[in-house]
Structure 1
Amino acid sequence: DVIHGHVARDYLVCALARRLAGRSQLVLTRHHYLPIKGHWGYRTMFRQVGRIIAVSESVRRGLIASLNLPPDQVMTIPNWVNPDEYRALPDPQRARARFDVQQPLVVGMVGQMTPAKGPEEFIRAAALVASLRDDVAFLVAGETEERGFQFTERLRQLTRELSVSDRIHFLGRVEDLPGLFAALTMLVLPSWQEAFSIVLIQAMAAGLPVIASDVGGPAEIVTHGVTGLLVPPRRVEALAQAINRLLGDSDLRRRLGVAARKEVETRFERETVINQIESVYRDVISHP
């Protein structure tokens, strides 16, 4: 009855499958912030789609503008997380020991090692923080693609130039996110732009206080001063100030972490989001 496509490269295949199937309805989800090319083929295809789901309101606005779509054809439904997977974290001391961290405070970022994810800004902010206090370490977790190997090596060189190579640990890909979150005092998302951020809501589900760039999806996920802190993207000094603020205020960290977990349970819990998607299915089937 419904064909649902999630990856842009598969959209045309899904449209062809719908045509071959005859009576089925087509639903597409857009997960990326970059606009879709507005050439006639895509415009024609998207006008035949029953509903388009955007993972954030910023993505929804971009789709409507780039493809000149009717606003009521595009709706916002976020990604989801299962909070139960992040309720019972391992012991923090053991988790820090696993990553060879001796400091009692640990600031982490998780993301692919590409410039747009903001690891350079994170390292420069870490250096500013490390110059003020010696009780904090920094973890950088994320996969390096083969083509990004030189960039990661440049990041390592930057830590040496800033004299913080002993305070910043590069972990590579980490499969056990609950184990990583247990080691962290806070999570930082320093991306230049994001359509959404699954790792952000995963960290919030774990009760971690978060600092995120005030852009796109993260700005819709985090309420500044309530469920986390927002900072302007690519502003190293502002990021360092936010990190220092949380490091120096354990009560604020606790309040933000508790509120963040409740926010995820309310807005991004698996069943809540799946119910919204199923509602879209029922709607396109009943109103083809």
Structure 2
Amino acid sequence: MKADPANESSTLNLRVLHVLHGLHAGGMENGVINLAHGQLQRGIFHDVCALTTSGPFADRLPASSKASPLNKPEGFSFKTCLKLRRLIQTTRPDVVHSHNSSGLIYSAFALALPGIRIPLLAGEHAQLTAGEKAPHRLFIRRWLYRLACKKIHTVSAGQRDELLQLNLAAPEAILSISNGVDTERFHVQSKETKKAAINLPENALVLGMVARLAHHKRHDRLLDAFQQIAPNHPKLHLALVGDRGNAKEAILDAIGAHPFKDRIHWLGMRDDLPEVYPAFDLLVLPSESEGMSNVCLEAMACGVPVAANDSCGATEIIVDGVTGVIRSMPDASAIASHLESCLSDPSVLLTWGQNARRHIERNFSIASMMDRYEKVYRDLLIR
């Protein structure tokens, strides 16, 4: 009897090639690492192509995965398209999964050349920036989506709505897969102990931010806001976790010149975030744009409430006034005002943190995320 292709595809091993700009520390990159580990038992193996350099996250891949850096120079490189094509021909993945604009562009060009018939899944992990909404760039994205991609996925419903409003692809071509978090790895721990472990006073009230040192993350505005509220809260400290990015030099200079620099702690890049988040009393997320912040999910899983800008994705994670607050944060004064409100009664932060943990456990499991991606990958093979 002839096998049912749909049933057969659910038992076959398959290999996915992820194509992204670089394999450095970041939420999207962390998600790829989680997929690589979490789907091994499902017979799904993940390799990663870093268009530029592989970075430290390559060491976190399972032994069954390979990271291949292509060392792309600045600007568009047709030579890199050819390198990617050769990699695809050599590894023969079942699915190519691109991430954000650079991954999409190079994957689409590599797969468009004759001789390769492999489905492309395009992943979008943040709201489109103002530059990406320029008419010519929207035209290119629309063209690539419609001609090269079998499916497009976002990590929040708000992102999906944005792509549909811009008429970039048909509704049936775009799906939303919420990020998930490992609630066993990220869990509630003693705040006092964890504060002491990162050299903060045990009785400090700690605002935390975890992000690449990039302009759109808005560290500068948070530093200015901290200057406004620090005089009112003698025990208030600010801990910044992250490295790399186009604003690193400016941010470190601002910290060095800050009038409250003795209460600002730059912790650099950390590979022990489950041990760092519990030291925070409140995570601050003032970013200009997000998809669905892994940092937000991880902190909440550790019992830390979040004060976030009302960017795409945050409203789908945070229950305003229950697990944190969502407010418009266009400038330092607005951030300062909202933080003052949060800090007016520290006991509320404890309640929000407890609610945050329960909310994540019920609604953002990593198992559900793995299921959704597995279904998409396997569906692409039978189309």
TM-score in same-fold range (> 0.5) = yes
The Cα of 1:119 is off from its aligned counterpart by 1.2
State which of 350, 355, 366 in structure 2 corresponds to 1:254: 350
Distance 1:241 1:43, change over 3 A: closer
Show the counterpart of 1:138. Answer: 238
Show the counterpart of 1:74. Answer: 174
Show the counterpart of 1:151. Answer: 250
State which of 67, 87, 94 in structure 1 corresponds to 2:193: 94
1:224 aligns with 2:317: no
Question: In the alignment, residue 250 of structure 2 is paired with which amino acid?
Answer: F
- Residues 30-73 of structure 1: per-residue CA shift (max 9 Å, x gap): 11322472335x43431242211011223223333445311221
Show the counterpart of 2:99. Answer: 6
Gaps of 5+ in 2: 1-93
The Cα of 1:129 is off from its aligned counterpart by 2.1
State which of 264, 268, 272 in structure 2 corresponds to 1:176: 272
- Which structure 2 residues correspond to residues 1-288 of structure 1 after superposition, within 5 A? 1-15=94-108, 16-17=110-111, 20-22=115-117, 24-34=118-128, 35=132, 37-39=137-139, 42-48=141-147, 49-66=149-166, 68-89=168-189, 91-102=190-201, 103-145=203-245, 148-159=247-258, 163-286=259-382, 288=383
The Cα of 1:142 is off from its aligned counterpart by 1.5
- Residues 83-111 of structure 1: per-residue CA shift (max 9 Å, x gap): 1111253x433322233322431111111
Judge conservation of contact 1:80–1:268 (CA < 8 Å) in 2.
yes
The Cα of 1:207 is off from its aligned counterpart by 0.9
Question: In the alignment, residue 127 of structure 2 is paired with which amino acid?
Answer: Y
Whole-Å separation in 2 of the counterparts to 1:130 and 1:7: 38
- Residues 104-160 of structure 1: per-residue CA shift (max 9 Å, x gap): 311111112223212122122222221112122111221134x5343123322451x
Whole-Å separation in 2 of the counterparts to 1:20 and 1:10: 20
Whole-Å separation in 1 of the counterparts to 2:315 and 2:331: 16
Instruction: Report the secondary structure of 1:38's partner residue.
Output: helix
Whole-Å separation in 1 of the counterparts to 2:164 and 2:146: 11
Gaps of 5+ in 1: none
Judge conservation of contact 2:125–2:290 (CA < 8 Å) in 1.
no
- Residues 184-217 of structure 1: per-residue CA shift (max 9 Å, x gap): 1111111122222111111011110111111112
TM-score (norm: length of structure 1): 0.86
Question: In the alignment, residue 81 of structure 1 is paired with which amino acid?
Answer: V
Instruction: Report the secondary structure of 2:102's partner residue.
Output: helix
Structure with the bigger RCO (C-alpha within 8 Å, sep 6+) is: 1
Percent of aligned positions that are identical: 27
Distance 1:126 1:148, change over 3 A: closer
Judge conservation of contact 1:47–1:69 (CA < 8 Å) in 2.
yes
Distance 1:74 1:95, change over 3 A: same
TM-score (norm: length of structure 2): 0.66
Question: In the alignment, residue 168 of structure 1 is paired with which amino acid?
Answer: I
Whole-Å separation in 1 of the counterparts to 2:213 and 2:121: 32
The Cα of 1:176 is off from its aligned counterpart by 1.4
The Cα of 1:257 is off from its aligned counterpart by 1.4
Judge conservation of contact 1:213–1:219 (CA < 8 Å) in 2.
no
Whole-Å separation in 2 of the counterparts to 1:95 and 1:275: 33
Distance 1:266 1:25, change over 3 A: farther
Aligned length: 280
